Amino acid sequence: MAEQNKRIIKDRAIIADDWLLLRPNVSALVSPSVGALPSEVSIPTGKVIVPLAVWLAQKEALSARADIGVWLASDERPEALKDDLARLPLIAVDFPKFSDGRGYSIAFLLRERLGYAGELRAIGDVLRDQLFYLARVGFNAFDVRADRSLEDALAGLTDFSVRYQTSSDEKEPLFRRVHRPGEVP
C-alpha cells in the first residue's frame, strides 16, 4: 500500500498519492551477492512503482498488471522502456541529489523523442527551485522532499511568467512569439 496520507503535486494541484514507490536495496540490484536479484524482488498488490531492473527482470508477469509504474535512476537510459511506454501509466525519474541534472534529459527524451504521454513524476531530492524547470522538460508530477512544504513548492511552478528558450512546454523561442511595432506578423 502507498504511504498513508502521502501527498504529491500532480497537474498543478496537491493530491493524495496512491502509488507505492518500491525501493529495494539498490546495491542488491547491482550486485547479486549483496541481496535479492531483480527477478526475486517481491512486488506487492496495488499501485507500485518498481525500479527499471525489476521491471526488466519480471516484465512478462508485470506487463499483465495495469497498476505498475517504473522508476529510472539518473544513470539509466529511457530507451530501455521504448517498447513498454504505452502500457505504463507512470514513469518516475529519480534525482539522487539536488545537483544531479541527468533526470531533466531523461524526461525530455521520454516526452519528445519517445512520445511518452503518461504521468511523468520527479522523485528523490526534489525541491521548489527545480519545479518550474522540471515542468518545462515534461514532468507533470512531483514527489517533493518530505521535509519541504508542498504548498510552497507548488508556487515554484509559477516563479517565472516568460520563457525565453524552447522546450517541451514551449516550441517557439520568445523572439518568434513577440510582435514588435513595425514588423509584419
pLDDT at 32: 47
pLDDT at 99: 83
The answer to whether the Cα torsion of 26, 74, 146, 99 is positive or negative is positive
Q: Residue 157: exposed, middle, or buried by beta-carbon count in 10 A (0-12, 13-18, 19+)?
A: middle
Task: Work out the percent of the chain whose per-residue pLDDT is above 90.
Answer: 68
pLDDT at 181: 76
Put residue 124 in one of left, alpha, beta given phi > 0 → left and psi -120 to 50 → alpha: left
pLDDT at 160: 62
Entry field: residues in the chain: 185
Q: How far apart are CA 185 and CA 177, in angstroms?
A: 10
Q: Give pLDDT tens digits for 37-66.
A: 899 999 999 999 999 999 999 999 999 999
Closest Cα partner for 142 from 132, 131, 133? 131
Could you give all domains of the chain from N- to C-terminal order, each with its CATH number?
A: 7-177 (3.20.20)
The mean pLDDT of 151-157, rounded to a whole number, is 92
DSSP for residue 41: -
Q: Give pLDDT tens digits for 112-148.
A: 999 999 999 999 999 999 999 999 999 999 999 999 9
The mean pLDDT of 7-32, rounded to a whole number, is 81
Answering whether pTM is above 0.85, one says no
Q: Does the pLDDT value for residue 173 go beyond 60? A: yes
How many C-beta atoms lie closer than 10 Å to residue 51's C-beta? 23
Mean pLDDT of the chain: 87
Identify the residue with better confidence: 112 or 174.
Answer: 112
**By mean pLDDT, which of 25-29, 36-40, 72-76, 134-138 is the weakest?**
25-29
Task: Work out the percent of the chain whose per-residue pLDDT is above 70.
Answer: 81
DSSP for residue 23: -
The mean pLDDT of 85-95, rounded to a whole number, is 97
pLDDT at 28: 46
